[in-house]
Amino acid sequence: MDLKSITITGYKPHELNIFSDQDDKVQIIKEAIKRRLVDYLDNGLEWVLLSGQQGVETWAFDVLQDLKQDYSVKVALIPPFVDQEKIWKEDKQTIYQRMLEKADFYQPLSQKSYEGPKQYFIKNKWFIEKTDGCILLYEEEFGGSPKFFYDLILKYQEQHEYNVTIINSFDLDDLAREMQEWNQNEF
């Protein structure tokens, strides 16, 4: 299946016990996302759609900016509603503003401010229907916020073809060991 557009999503930082972007886990997650993305990009991926939420999506955005040096991928930032960053801490708002400036396309799904959780459901459904697949940082046993997205994918896949690449804790542990060995061999 040729994937022209995908979305990337997953956990928010606090769900992963990450309280700083300098945490080593962030680099491991970014490397895992990068490796999956490169496979897609080498096979014709053109667009990545993100809602701009903190955590996996923010880190994926950073990875995509780096990959733009070698690939002609475009990034669409499509938050579920206007001013989603309004309640975030100032440093997270600054990161989000930089994302808005660098995105190839920006358009909130709803022109209203936050009204309720239904807006997240609508966003998840829209992202699944408008993309060919996704990269999802998710742990089925753990659940958390990506569970809603994952459950919608399973329902959608009953009627449609949809490619899902899951990155789980085993993948991250293997990659962490590999990166540690690589760093040790560098010296």
Predicted confidence band at 184 (pLDDT cuts at 50, 70, 90)? confident
Q: What is the DSSP track for 107-143?
A: --SSSS----THHHHHHHHHHHHHSSEEEEE--TTT-
- The CATH number of whichever domain residue 31 belongs to comes to 3.40.50.450
Quote the mean pLDDT of the chain.
96
Q: What percent of the chain has pLDDT over 90?
A: 94
- pLDDT tens profile 50-94: 999 999 999 999 999 999 999 999 999 999 999 999 999 999 999
Q: Which domain holds residue 58?
A: 5-186
Please state the domain count of the chain.
1
